[in-house]
C-alpha cells in the first residue's frame, strides 16, 4: 500500500467531512419529523380535505359538488394533502434544524440579527396562509360562483382544486416575506432608506405585476395580493429604518464612551487622580530614600575624615614627643625645661580620643601646628 493511500486526511478534509455528517443528521431529523406528523395526519386526510374545500363548497349551487376525474384521485389527493400539511406544520422544526446547522458559523452580531428574522419569517409565512384561506378564498369563490353563466354547472376536480390551493398558500406566504427582505437590505446597508422611498412607485407596479402572474385572472385576487405586498414593503421600510437608527445610536454612544471615560460619582476620587497621587507618593518616598541614603553616606564620609585627622594628629604628637626627648637628652642645659615639655606632651597623648565633626577639622591642624612649635622650642 502506498504512502498516499495510508496518509491521514488533513484538518480541512476532516472538517468538511464533519460538516457533511452534521448536515446528514439534520436532514434525517427533518425527514423523521415530517414522517411522524404525516402518520398522525393520514387517518384524518379526508377530513382535512373537506376543511380545505369548505371555502369553495360553501358557494356551490344547490345540487353541485366537487368531482374526481382521475381513477385514483380519491385516494391520492387526500394523501398528497396530508403530506403537504405535515410539511407545513413541521416548518418550525425544519427551520430550527437549518438554524442549528448554520449558527456555529455566524458571528455574535449576525446571530442577533438572524434569529429574530428567522422567527419573524416563520410567523409571516403562516400569516400569509391564514390570510389567503380566511379572506381571499371566500371572496374569490363567491365572485366565481356569481359570474357563472346560466346553464353551466360547477364541478371542480379535487386534484385541480388542491393544486390551486397549494399554489395560493405558497404565493401569499412568500409575499408576506417582503418585510424580511426589506429589513435585511436596510440593516446590511445594501440600500439606503432614501433610495427605497424613491423606489416606491416601482414597487407598487411590481407588486401588481407579480400578483397578476400568480393569482387567477381576476381583479379581486390580484388586488388582495398586491395591496398586502405594498403594505408589507412600507412596514418593512419603517421598521428597518428604525433598526438602522437604533444601531447607529448604539455605535455613537459606544464611541463616545470610548473617547470620554465615565465620570465617577460625587464624593469619589477619579481613578486618574488616584493613580497620579500614587505616582507622586511613590516618587516622594523614593526621593526621601535617596536623600536619606545620601545624608548617611555624607555623615559616614565626614566621620571617617574626622577620625583620620585625629589619628594623624596623635601620630604627629607622638613623633613630636620623641623628637623633644631626643633633644632633651642631647642638651644638658635645658634638661629640666625639656622634661616639663615631655610631661605636657604625654598628658596630651593620654587624653581620651573623641570623634570630631567636619567643622572641628581646622582645630586639629591648629593643635598640630602648636605642637610643632613647642617641639621646636
Instruction: Provide the pLDDT confidence category of residue 354 given band limits of 50, 70 and 90.
Output: very low
Q: Do the beta carbons of residue 287 and residue 330 sit within 8 Å? A: no
Say which residue, 197 or 344, is predicted with more confidence: 197
Q: Do the beta carbons of residue 102 and residue 19 sit within 8 Å? A: no
50-77 mean pLDDT: 87
Say which residue, 358 or 134, is predicted with more confidence: 134
Q: What is the pLDDT at residue 32?
A: 96
User: What is the distance between the alpha carbons of residues 371 and 377, in angstroms, rounded to a whole number?
Assistant: 10
Instruction: Provide the pLDDT confidence category of residue 323 given band limits of 50, 70 and 90.
Output: low
Residues 242-276 have pLDDT tens digits of 888 888 888 888 877 776 655 555 555 455 454 44
Say which residue, 214 or 321, is predicted with more confidence: 214
Say which residue, 362 or 261, is predicted with more confidence: 261
The alpha carbons of the chain give a radius of gyration, in whole angstroms, of: 54
325-329 mean pLDDT: 50
User: What is the distance between the alpha carbons of residues 52 and 156, in angstroms, rounded to a whole number?
Assistant: 14
CB proximity list for 369: less than 8 A, separation 6 or greater? none
End-to-end Cα distance, the chain: 120
Q: Is the pLDDT of residue 325 over 60?
A: no
Q: Which three cell numbers stand for residue 264?
A: 465617577
Q: Is the pLDDT of residue 368 over 90?
A: no
Q: Is the pLDDT of residue 284 over 60?
A: no
Residues 188-236 have pLDDT tens digits of 888 888 898 899 999 999 999 988 888 777 788 888 889 989 999 999 8
List b or e across 116-152, with b for residues whose CB sees 16 or more CB atoms inside 10 angstroms: ebbeebeebbeebbebbbeebbeebbeebeeeeeeee
User: What is the distance between the alpha carbons of residues 37 and 89, in angstroms, rounded to a whole number?
Assistant: 8
Domain ranges of the chain: 10-256, 293-376
Residues 125-150 have pLDDT tens digits of 999 999 999 998 988 888 888 887 87
User: What is the distance between the alpha carbons of residues 155 and 151, in angstroms, rounded to a whole number?
Assistant: 13
Q: Is the pLDDT of residue 151 over 80?
A: no
**Of the candidate ranges 105-119, 180-194, 298-312, 355-369, the one whose mean pLDDT is the lowest:** 355-369
Plot region of 189 (φ>0 → left; ψ -120 to 50 → alpha; else → beta): left
346-353 mean pLDDT: 57
Say which residue, 10 or 267, is predicted with more confidence: 267
User: What is the distance between the alpha carbons of residues 224 and 139, in angstroms, rounded to a whole number?
Assistant: 10
Q: Is the pLDDT of residue 57 over 80?
A: yes
User: What is the distance between the alpha carbons of residues 162 and 164, in angstroms, rounded to a whole number?
Assistant: 5
State the residue for C-alpha cell 395560493: 168
Q: What is the pLDDT at residue 34?
A: 95
Q: Do the beta carbons of residue 282 and residue 337 sit within 8 Å? A: no
Return the sign of the alpha-carbon dihedral for residues 369, 371, 376, 377: positive
Closest by CA to 203, choosing from 229, 180, 167, is 229
Q: What is the pLDDT at residue 260?
A: 67
Alpha-carbon separation of residue 199 from 178, 186, 229, 294 (angstroms):
14, 14, 14, 83
Q: What is the pLDDT at residue 159?
A: 92
Phi and psi angles of residue 157, each rounded to the nearest 5 degrees, phi first? -75, 140
% of the chain at pLDDT higher than 70: 65
Q: What is the pLDDT at residue 364?
A: 44
Hey, is 134 helix, strand or coil?
helix
Q: Is the pLDDT of residue 55 over 80?
A: yes
Q: Is the pLDDT of residue 299 over 60?
A: no
Amino acid at each position: 500500500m502506498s504512502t498516499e493511500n495510508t496518509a491521514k486526511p488533513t484538518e480541512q478534509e476532516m472538517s468538511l467531512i464533519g460538516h457533511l455528517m452534521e448536515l446528514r443528521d439534520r436532514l434525517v431529523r427533518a425527514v423523521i419529523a415530517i414522517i411522524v406528523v404525516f402518520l398522525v395526519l393520514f387517518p384524518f386526510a379526508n377530513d382535512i380535505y373537506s376543511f380545505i374545500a369548505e371555502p369553495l363548497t360553501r358557494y356551490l349551487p344547490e345540487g353541485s359538488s366537487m368531482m374526481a376525474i382521475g381513477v385514483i384521485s380519491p385516494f391520492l389527493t387526500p394523501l398528497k394533502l396530508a403530506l403537504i400539511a405535515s410539511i407545513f406544520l413541521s416548518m418550525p422544526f425544519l427551520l430550527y434544524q437549518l438554524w442549528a446547522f448554520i449558527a456555529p458559523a455566524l458571528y455574535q452580531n449576525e446571530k442577533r440579527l438572524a434569529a429574530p428574522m428567522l422567527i419573524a419569517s416563520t410567523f409571516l409565512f403562516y400569516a400569509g396562509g391564514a390570510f389567503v384561506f380566511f379572506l381571499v378564498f371566500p371572496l374569490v369563490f363567491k365572485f366565481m360562483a356569481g359570474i357563472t353563466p346560466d346553464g353551466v354547472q360547477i364541478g371542480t376536480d379535487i386534484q385541480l382544486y388542491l393544486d390551486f390551493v397549494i399554489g395560493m398558500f405558497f404565493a401569499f406566504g412568500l409575499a408576506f416575506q417582503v418585510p424580511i427582505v426589506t429589513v435585511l437590505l436596510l440593516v446590511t446597508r445594501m440600500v439606503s432608506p432614501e433610495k427605497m422611498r424613491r423606489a416606491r412607485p416601482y414597487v407598487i407596479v411590481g407588486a401588481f405585476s407579480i400578483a397578476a402572474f400568480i393569482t387567477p385572472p381576476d381583479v379581486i385576487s390580484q388586488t388582495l395580493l398586491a395591496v398586502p405586498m405594498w403594505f408589507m414593503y412600507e412596514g418593512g421600510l419603517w421598521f428597518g429604518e428604525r433598526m438602522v437608527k437604533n444601531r447607529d445610536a448604539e455605535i455613537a454612544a459606544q464611541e463616545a464612551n470610548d473617547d470620554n471615560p465615565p465620570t465617577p460619582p460625587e464624593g469619589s476620587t477619579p481613578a486618574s487622580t488616584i493613580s497620579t497621587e500614587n505616582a507622586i507618593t511613590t516618587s516622594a518616598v523614593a526621593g526621601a530614600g535617596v536623600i536619606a541614603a545620601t545624608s548617611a553616606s555624607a555623615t559616614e564620609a565626614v566621620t571617617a575624615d574626622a577620625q583620620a585627622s585625629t589619628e594623624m594628629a596623635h601620630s604627629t604628637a607622638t613623633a613630636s614627643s620623641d623628637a623633644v626627648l631626643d633633644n632633651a637628652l642631647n642638651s644638658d642645659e635645658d634638661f629640666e625645661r625639656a622634661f616639663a615639655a615631655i610631661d605636657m606632651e604625654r598628658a596630651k597623648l593620654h587624653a581620651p580620643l573623641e570623634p570630631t565633626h567636619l567643622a572641628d577639622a581646622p582645630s586639629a591642624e591648629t593643635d598640630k601646628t602648636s605642637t610643632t612649635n613647642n617641639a621646636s622650642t
